[in-house]
Amino acid sequence: MEERRSKGTWQETLHRHPIVQGAMNALPIAIGYVPIAIAYGLLAKSAGLTLFITVFMSMAVYAGASQFLGVSLIGAQAGAASIIALTFFLNLRLLLMSTALSARLREPRALLRAIVAFGVTDESFSVASFRPGPLETSYLLTLEFVAYASWVAGSALGYLTGEWLPSSLQAGMGIALYAMFIGLLVPNARTSRTGLIVAVLAMLLNSGFAPLLGPGMGIVITAIIVSLAAALLDREERAEEAVQDGAATHER
């Protein structure tokens, strides 16, 4: 009895370790990344890029949508300035995500903050956002590294072997990232009424903005407007905060 309990505790301790949790939380990201990275590698090859440029872009840029854009524009001989400017606007939303993550990260070492920053993606941000409690550097670094490795490896794999996959599977894999976004959003929206309303409003607003502003800026403007409105109007959350603040003052 005593032995069983101590064994359980040992496993629980391991299970709760930030590095173990980071690796486990990264698995669904990796499973979503690999098919998308294969599609990217395949596109880069058909656009006439070398294997080196294809993998180098995954390692240095590490941002899905802009890489798809980049390889097709490089293949179409578009100007460097326009490709880089498009990439910038497409990835401006990372500014919002890094702001939210940086507010929860207590890491004094500049080098580690710089490395954590490099691994911020739609997916690592979403997973880390819904992690309860403090954000440990070791958790984030593990989460980001596993995701990054799967993206880089998948890109090379797609370039080298992607054309052998059946075309219906190649097309079906396009849903993987969206399924991950849905899998992150739905369970959390079930427990937060305001969160659900915010997400639905963002979908509607982005449907109007995306065709006008392009997918990158559409997401940025939508996210700012809807989150501002929620922060202004959410009375429940304010009442909750007041109670928590009161309790915190009491404890002190």
Residue 222 binds another protein (CB under 8 A): yes
Q: Which of residues 174-193 bind another protein (CB under 8 A)?
A: 174-190, 192
Residue 54 and residue 45 in contact, taking contact as beta carbons nearer than 8 Å? yes
Q: Which of residues 142-171 bind another protein (CB under 8 A)?
A: 166, 168-169, 171
Contacts of 126 (CB under 8 A, 6+ apart): 180, 181, 184, 185
Angle at 157 between CA 151 and CA 158, to 5 degrees: 90
Helical ranges in the chain per DSSP H: 2-16, 18-46, 51-60, 64-75, 80-90, 93-104, 110-118, 122-129, 137-161, 167-172, 176-191, 193-233, 235-251
Structure tokens at 15: 């299970």
Q: Which of residues 67-106 bind another protein (CB under 8 A)?
A: 70, 74, 80, 83-85, 87-88, 91-103, 105
Binding range to another protein, per CB under 8 A, among 5-13, 15-23, 156-164, 221-229 = 221-229
Residue 49 binds another protein (CB under 8 A): yes
Q: How far apart are CA 239 and CA 250, in angstroms?
A: 17
Q: How far apart are CA 241 and CA 193, in angstroms?
A: 16
Closer by beta carbon to another protein, 46 or else 98? 98
What one-character DSSP code corresponds to residue 81? Answer: H
Structure tokens at 143: 């989460």
Residue 138 binds another protein (CB under 8 A): no
Residue 134 binds another protein (CB under 8 A): no
Structure tokens at 213: 């502003």
Of positions 7, 237, 243, 247, contacts another protein by CB under 8 A? 237
Residue 61 binds another protein (CB under 8 A): yes
Residue 45 binds another protein (CB under 8 A): no
Please state the closest distance from residue 152 (CB atom) to another protein, in A: 13
Q: How far apart are CA 22 and CA 169, in angstroms?
A: 29
Amino acid occupying residue 170: Q
Residue 53 binds another protein (CB under 8 A): yes
Residue 246 binds another protein (CB under 8 A): no
Of positions 19, 157, 196, 213, contacts another protein by CB under 8 A? 196
Closer by beta carbon to another protein, 10 or else 24? 24
Residue 172 binds another protein (CB under 8 A): yes
Closer by beta carbon to another protein, 7 or else 200? 200
Please state the closest distance from residue 9 (CB atom) to another protein, in A: 24
Residue 113 binds another protein (CB under 8 A): yes
